[in-house]
């Protein structure tokens, strides 16, 4: 059985990058930690919320590189002298990534009550009409 790709369709020209983004999205962030929500807050705005209880703002980093939003949490070693009888709050390191479509930009991030909120906005697309002149052959 052969794999069907977008590039194999004759009417879909130049969509190779979209196919790579779909494959990248399928591979990234499939683990369940930390849990997260993605909500659409308006026609052009989104919010990603990650449960980051136990992480301070200094323990978290957010980067965007090559249309990929990456959220990392690193453990600070401030619990070395504590003895836990039960430890149910996960504090392990994590990396969660999200593939962003063209035109989607991160407009801000904030922590509140153990949740990290990342706000995104999709730019209003410009409608471009181009007339192509036909040369006489």
Task: Please give the Cα distance from 117 to 137 (Å, whole number).
Answer: 59
Residue 20 lies in a domain: no
Residue 3 lies in a domain: no
Residue 10 lies in a domain: no
Residue 86 lies in a domain: yes
Q: Based on the structure, what is the number of domains in the chain?
A: 1
Residues 122, 44: contact at Cβ < 8 Å? Answer: yes
Domain extent for 95: 32-122
Q: Give the tens place of pLDDT for each residue, 93-109.
A: 999 999 998 899 999 99
Q: Give the tens place of pLDDT for each residue, 30-76.
A: 568 899 999 999 999 999 999 998 899 999 999 999 889 999 999 77
Tell me if the pTM is above 0.75.
no
């Amino acid at each position: 059985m052969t794999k069907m790709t977008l590039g194999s369709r004759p009417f879909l020209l130049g969509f190779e990058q979209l196919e790579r983004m779909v494959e990248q999205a399928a591979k990234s962030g499939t683990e369940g930690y930390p849990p997260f929500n993605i909500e659409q807050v308006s026609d052009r705005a989104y919010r990603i919320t990650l449960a980051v209880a136990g992480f301070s703002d200094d323990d978290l980093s957010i980067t965007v590189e090559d249309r990929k939003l990456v959220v990392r949490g690193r453990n600070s070693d401030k619990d070395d002298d504590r003895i836990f009888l039960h430890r149910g709050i996960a504090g392990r390191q994590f990396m969660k990534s999200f593939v962003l479509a063209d035109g989607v930009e991160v407009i801000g991030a904030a922590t509140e009550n153990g949740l990290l909120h990342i706000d995104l906005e999709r730019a209003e697309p410009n409608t471009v009409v181009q007339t192509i002149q036909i040369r006489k052959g």
